[in-house]
A and B are shown apart, each in its own frame.
Chain A
Amino acid sequence: MKFIIYIPLFIVFQLAGDALKTFLNLPIPSATIGMLLLLIFLFIIPQNKNITNAAQKLLLHLPLFFIPAGVGIMQYTEILKQDSLALLASVFGSTTLCFILAAWFTQRLLKSEKI
């Protein structure tokens, strides 16, 4: 149960990221800034099993946190219908192609590094 007290820690860094973004007017999303701040913090403190545990527990439910934004698709069915062929080609076709390319290329680069 000790992990539960670390969830507020993540929220503190999330809010710090938000504040820093507003203060410096950065073009980077606040969650990413919060992530970078936490990363720096994790290098300062000794490695802690409870923090790892807390992150694991939270990240296990990452799909849940996408639901509110994802349901937003329902508003744009009209636009999606208009250019459906182009959208399908891009969202399915080019995504698949790029993903295969990225996976193959990254593995290839990692292999050549060993030689």
Chain B
Amino acid sequence: MMHNLTQNIPMLLLALTLLIYFISVRLYQSSNRNILLLPVVTAITLMIILLNIFDIQYSHYFESVEIIHFLLSTATVALAVPLRNHFHLIIEHAFPLTISLAVMAIITPAFAVLSAWFFNADTTVLLSLAPKSISTPFAIGVAEEIGGYPPLVAAIVIVTGAVVAVISSSVFKVFSIHNPIAQGFSMGLVGHGIATATALEMSMKTGAFSALAMGLMGVSTSVILPYLVLWFI
């Protein structure tokens, strides 16, 4: 009996993850989309608490839910669809968007490093913070290149995305950012995939520009950052 139970733990963890996601989404919807109850944040927090209570190692958990992780790449590929549907707008605004990208691709990692340097963080932490605004697979590649600590980078990247997702609607209100293209593009530039999920909730158009910015920022940061680091250190 006990043997059967432990054998089924991977399936239980998979089911539990789906259940927690469902609960988190419901909680968010019933709170009238209170951004502090952002589903991805609630779900990750609850899952960590449960794994700690039942003393389950992360590596074991990850193996059990790898199929969900696989679908993250599938969904990333599917972002081509809103990009295709809004391609005429992307071409139309290619010039301002390129300028915005070029400026932010330098400012974002520079600010990330400077603010931590001010508080005397050690070099590994500084280098792990530099790629915090690009999606995880890019960020980990860059971290390996410049000498950051990849697992720490992954954690930093996810929290950064969640910060952008949480503050986005307040920032747009306070600073009168009404243009959905500017909204989506800035969310993708600074908050990568996690903010893109929130942008898609605003509209497919906002989501398309967030996806565009995320891809462009990922490519340009991974090219620029290794040179920027050489220059500073």
| Cross-chain contact A65 with B111 (CB below 8 angstroms) | no
Which of A34, A63, A80, A101 has the most B CB atoms < 10 Å from its CB?
A63
| Cross-chain contact A95 with B189 (CB below 8 angstroms) | no
| Chain B contacts for A55, CB-based, 8 A | 78-82
* A66–B159 alpha-carbon span in the complex (Å): 11
Q: Which residues of A contact B (CB under 8 A)?
A: 7, 10-11, 13-14, 17, 27-32, 34-36, 38-39, 42-43, 47, 51-52, 54-56, 58-76, 79-80, 83, 85-87, 89-107, 109-113
Interface secondary structure of B, over-half rule: helix
* A42–B80 alpha-carbon span in the complex (Å): 8
Contacts A55-B78, A91-B160, A95-B163 given; does A103 touch B116 at CB 8 Å: no
Contacts A62-B200, A67-B21, A83-B125 given; does A35 touch B108 at CB 8 Å: no
Contacts A14-B74, A72-B62, A91-B163 given; does A59 touch B112 at CB 8 Å: no
Contacts A65-B69, A73-B48 given; does A17 touch B77 at CB 8 Å: yes
| Chain B contacts for A69, CB-based, 8 A | 69, 72, 136, 154, 158
| Cross-chain contact A58 with B74 (CB below 8 angstroms) | yes
**19 residue pairs bridging A and B, Cβ less than 8 Å apart:** A10-B77, A14-B74, A27-B141, A28-B138, A29-B135, A35-B77, A42-B84, A47-B84, A55-B82, A68-B17, A86-B125, A90-B132, A94-B112, A95-B164, A98-B190, A99-B190, A102-B186, A106-B100, A109-B97
| Chain A contacts for B99, CB-based, 8 A | 109
Contacts A28-B219, A65-B71 given; does A70 touch B84 at CB 8 Å: no
Within 51-83 of B, Cβ neighbours of A (below 8 Å) are at 51-52, 58, 61-62, 65-66, 68-69, 71-83
| Cross-chain contact B121 with A86 (CB below 8 angstroms) | yes
